[in-house]
Structure 1
């Protein structure tokens, strides 16, 4: 397993085909998830790119540091420092859900390292936690409340909420998403995250990001609805939006082949100007897989 020590945290990452390709794609997962969510997508990309998948602290196999401020800016800085330690000077950033906000933070604060961006059902326009909730999160046993809340909501019900086609749900999938939450420290770290998350980037900041960006959205996304993607594509100066029909929030699980096809076509094309109707100006071919 690969770990790098950054800002006092042991950060877990996976590195595919490091010697074969110059172009790198960095995968950033969503809230309560890990690199596990990209396992069906990675085999497509690793035939064309060096792929770096990161467990964003405190999730997955990365350490849970109970004194680290888990703000989106700090998580973005961790991603950039990890790439610097791997001698990667620039890369494409693909973020799912919360990972989309981390990718946007990287593009905003470290624009020189970002070639192109891909947002998969990205979080957008969420405010920081209410001051009362932030205060309560400092109570010694608040992490027990988080554990009870997640347990009551149920892993199966949560997975059913993020996919449109529930037939793809398997025991392997359920176990993969529940395994990181078998350790008590993750709930303590989530208490930290509630206090430190600064909220999503506002429109004024989004409008200054010049990185070319492709937004892929599930038409049936119940977690981050399509209306968020339609708002993001208006705020981001060089963004285009494509909608996947019969697809929910967890695009990497439901549509790995289609996702690769659209993303690969976008990353390998010349930079394009946003179209009036926000339709990507190329036709992906499925023989590129």
Structure 2
């Protein structure tokens, strides 16, 4: 399904359905297609919101995890959302964590992390991104998933287009370095809201032990693994992912 991208001021976003807002934060190479299964399912139960993070549009000083967290804060404030359920994949999870740590007063009801950075992540390798090497980009994109067929030509083309733009490459590297530097560790003990952790058992970017470490550090958290699944469970195994997320959100509905 194709969703309308709405605009309010400087913000671009998708907003579908009614109810408590479920705000989805994408990762470094995230696209709306990553959340298709989530949007289609949860728009019947929640107001599903996907802000398009300005990965390539912030000035270089704000091109950081903190800069993106500030953007998310302004977006949620501008839209007047309350009782927010925040969900982040990969870098999006990291951005959500920094947002919550900087704004404990925010109207956030729950947090869901899936393949989140913030503690540890394997990068694309020292030579990444190789500009102009389509085959290299295809293989690296395949590593995101358990099933390499998930790296469709359309998805590889999206990543390849980013890596052929010199300015975008600089921004991607800057954000990746910011994520590695901004290691959260013990700070995570300050996250008190109910937190759902959903990890692919075959995630090679943020391996299962990363999910286990998040579980140890975040007090009110529960961890679920999905087998035969890589770094983007909501994309690779949407049905299993939704079956875990839905009851978690339902039990919080009237709280």
Q: Structure 2 CA distance, aligned partners of 1:168 and 1:196?
A: 28
Deviation at 1:69, TM superposition (A): 1.4
Deviation at 1:77, TM superposition (A): 1.6
1:39 matched to 2:36:
yes
Summarize the Cα distance change of 1:208–1:233 in structure 2 as closer, same or farther, 3 Å threshold: same
Partner residue, 2:53: 56
Summarize the Cα distance change of 1:12–1:159 in structure 2 as closer, same or farther, 3 Å threshold: same
Deviation at 1:265, TM superposition (A): 0.8
Structure 1 gap segments, 5+ residues each = 134-144, 272-289
Structure 2 gap segments, 5+ residues each = none
Q: Structure 2 CA distance, aligned partners of 1:67 and 1:200?
A: 16
Task: Name the TM-score, length of structure 2 as normaliser.
Answer: 0.84
Partner residue, 1:208: 190
1:163 matched to 2:145:
yes
**Aligned with residue 2 of structure 1, among 3, 6, 10:** 6
Deviation at 1:80, TM superposition (A): 1.6
Query: 1:180-226 CA distances to partner (integer Å, 9 max, x unpaired)?
Result: 45544312323543565573443321011101101001111111100
**Aligned with residue 115 of structure 2, among 102, 114, 121:** 121
Coordinate RMSD, CA, aligned: 2.8
Partner residue, 1:107: 100
Q: Structure 2 CA distance, aligned partners of 1:196 and 1:121?
A: 17
Summarize the Cα distance change of 1:67–1:165 in structure 2 as closer, same or farther, 3 Å threshold: closer
Partner residue, 2:242: 260
The structure with the larger Rg is 1
Matched residue SS, 2:28? coil
Matched residue SS, 2:130? helix
Summarize the Cα distance change of 1:164–1:70 in structure 2 as closer, same or farther, 3 Å threshold: same
Partner residue, 1:96: 89
Task: Name the TM-score, length of structure 1 as normaliser.
Answer: 0.75
**Aligned with residue 227 of structure 1, among 202, 209, 214:** 209
Q: Structure 2 CA distance, aligned partners of 1:195 and 1:223?
A: 15
